[in-house]
Amino acid sequence: MPVSDIKSRPVYAGLKIDETARRHLVAAEGEGALAVVEAFGAAPRALARMTLLYAPGGSAGRDRAATLAALGADTFYVMPSTQTLLVRLNVLLGDAVMGTRLYAAGAEDFIGQATAAGAAFGVSPGSVVAERRGSLARRVQCVHCKGIIENVTVSPVVCVHCGVPLLVRDHYSRRLAAFQGVSIDAETPGVVPPAEELFK
């Protein structure tokens, strides 16, 4: 089966305000800020019920914190990294009330991790409103050593944990928020095609 025929990749419908939500919990990184501005920029009632988390790293061409601050969300946090944003998101999810809608915007790996955080608190992954923006770089799990490799833009890629050259498949694990990488030279050890930049 060709790699591209695998249908496990998530599909993101884009940010749209859930008018029935009591609270909007929005997590954005990098260029995902632009999706937040487009969706919530002309929605003062939603902004009055919004907690917005933003990390400028990751897929950002530039820091968009000032643009997001100008929206006037009820609560706004600028985090120094996506990892600290995810820690704060977990705290907020732990305190969330019924009727809170989770939104995620940014690179695919970020959306996956935010969705997984929600799932740990009982938020159905299908109910997370998400929009992919920015880099196509992938988060990859080596199926051999189970290590995670961040910001992968090429295939094959050498696992930084065990050294196995990996074919980056389109098979996506929602639980891990990562694509799967499998040994590309299992049948012919040492025969590895040159890396191609596929996920820029």
Q: What is the pLDDT of residues 29-45, one digit of tens each?
A: 999 999 999 999 999 99
Q: Is the pLDDT confidence value at 81 over 60?
A: yes
> Judging by beta carbons within 10 Å of its beta carbon (0-12, 13-18, 19+), is residue 111 exposed, middle or buried?
buried
Average of pLDDT values for 113-137? 93
Q: Which amino acid is at 84?
A: T
Domains in the chain, number: 2
Summary mean pLDDT of the chain: 91
Residues 127 and 38 in one domain: yes
Lowest mean pLDDT among 47-51, 71-75, 109-113: 109-113
Q: Is the pLDDT confidence value at 200 over 50?
A: yes
Examine the fold and report which residue of 115, 132, 149 is the final residue of a domain before the chain moves on.
Answer: 132
Model confidence, pTM? 0.84
Residues 65 and 84 in one domain: yes
Question: Helices (H) and strands (E) in the chain — how many of each?
Answer: 5, 12
Q: Is the pLDDT confidence value at 97 over 80?
A: yes
Within-domain flag for 122: yes
pLDDT at 61: 54
Residues 101 and 65 in one domain: yes
